[in-house]
Amino acid sequence: MNLDNLITAALKEDGVFNDITTKEFIQKDKKANAVLIANQPGIICGTDIFAKVFRSIDKRCKVIKKIKDGSKINQGDKILEVSGPAWAVLAGERTALNFLQHLSGIATLTDKFVSCVKGTKTKIYDTRKTIPGYRELAKYAVRCGGGTNHRMGLYDMVLIKDNHISLAKDLSKKILHFRKKHKNIKVEVECENPAQVGHALTAKADVIMLDNMGYEQSKQMISFIREHSSRNYRPEIELSGGINLKTLKKYAKLNADIISIGMITHSAPALDITLEINIK
C-alpha cells in the first residue's frame, strides 16, 4: 500500500486545499498550536499517519509525539502536539483524526480480546474483513493491540473453503501437488462438519479451521484432531465465527491455537480523541 496515495486521496476527498471557511475567515499569517487529547481510555495507534497528514498539507507543520503507538492511554492524556500555519492545522484536523480514531479503535478492541485469552495458549488473529484500501493500516492496528495478523491477502497463504472443496475432487492430492511447488506457504482448510475435518487431517493441512461449529462440537473436533496428530504432524487449530467478548473466555479454555475475530477490524468503534486548537 502506498500511504502517500491514501493520504492524498483522503485530503482530496475532503477538499483540504479548497477550504473556503479557512480561506475566508482565517488570515494567512496566523499560526496555530494544537494538543491531541484522549477523551476515553484505550490503545493509541496511527500517530505516524496523523503527523504525515499535516506534513502533506504544509511542510512547516511540526508534530511532537508524547505517546508511542501501541501504548495504553487514559482519559485526559496528551498524545501529541501540532504546530504550524493555522489554515493547515484547521484544514487537516478531520482527515488526521479520521485515521487516528479508526486505527486506535481497532487497536483498543483487539486489546480487549487479547486480554481475555491471557494465560492461555490461544492467540487472537484478525481476518480480511477490512475497509478496502485500509488493510495494511488495519492489520498494523491489530498488532498495536497485541493481536496477530492472519493472511494479508489471497496471495500469501492457501485457505481452502467449502466452495473450493466442492470443486476439488481429491484434496490430499491437490495439497501434495501444491507443496511440491510452494514449500514455505501454509495450507489451511476451513471445516464446517466432522467429515470435512477428517478430509483435512488426511490431506495433512497445516491449519484446520473449525468454522461456526459451536462450543460442544468445537470441543469434540479439537479432541479428535489432537488424537489424530503425531510428532511428525500436528496441525494448528483455528476457531472462527460467532465468538465475541462474552463467549471468548469459554472458547479459549479449549486451547485452540488461534481464534480469528472479524469484528476487531470491521466493527471496532472509533476511539474518542479531540484535537484542541489554539490560534495565535
280 in catalytic set? no
Rounded to two decimals, the pTM is 0.95
Are 150 and 76 in the same domain?
Answer: no
| 161 counts as catalytic | yes
Give the active site residue among 129, 186, 204, 219. Answer: 129
Catalytic residue among 161, 179, 186, 204: 161
User: Would you call 69 a catalytic residue per the annotation?
Assistant: no
Give yes or no: residues 129 and 71 share one domain: no
- CA geometry: angle at 194 spanning 214 and 235, to 5°? 90
The active-site residue out of 23, 59, 78, 94 is: 94
State the CATH number of the domain containing residue 97.
Answer: 3.90.1170.20
Which range of residues forms the domain containing residue 217?
115-266
In the block, cell 514455505 appears at 184
* pLDDT tens digits, one per residue of 22-62: 989 988 899 999 999 999 999 999 999 999 999 999 999 99
Is 128 catalytic? The answer is: no
Number of domains into which the chain is organized: 2
104 and 138 inside one domain: no
Q: What is the mean pLDDT of the chain?
A: 94
C-alpha cell at 254: 479449549
pLDDT score, position 165: 65
* pLDDT for the residue numbered 5: 92
Active site annotation includes 59: no
Specify the DSSP element, H or E, that contains 106: helix 86-116
Confidence bin at 239 (pLDDT 50/70/90) = very high
Regarding whether 172 and 241 lie in a shared domain, the answer is yes
- Give the residue ranges of DSSP H helices in 15-119: 20-25, 47-57, 86-116
Q: Do residue 122 and residue 245 come from a single domain?
A: yes
Q: Which three cell numbers stand for residue 141?
A: 492496528
Residue 119 has pLDDT above 90, yes or no: yes
What value does the mean pLDDT take over residues 247-272? 97
pLDDT single digits (tens) 60-103: 999 999 999 999 999 999 999 999 999 999 999 999 999 999 99
Residues 46 and 179 in one domain: no
Q: Looking at residues 177-187, what average pLDDT do you find? A: 90
Which residue in the list 19, 190, 206, 238 is annotated as catalytic? Answer: 190
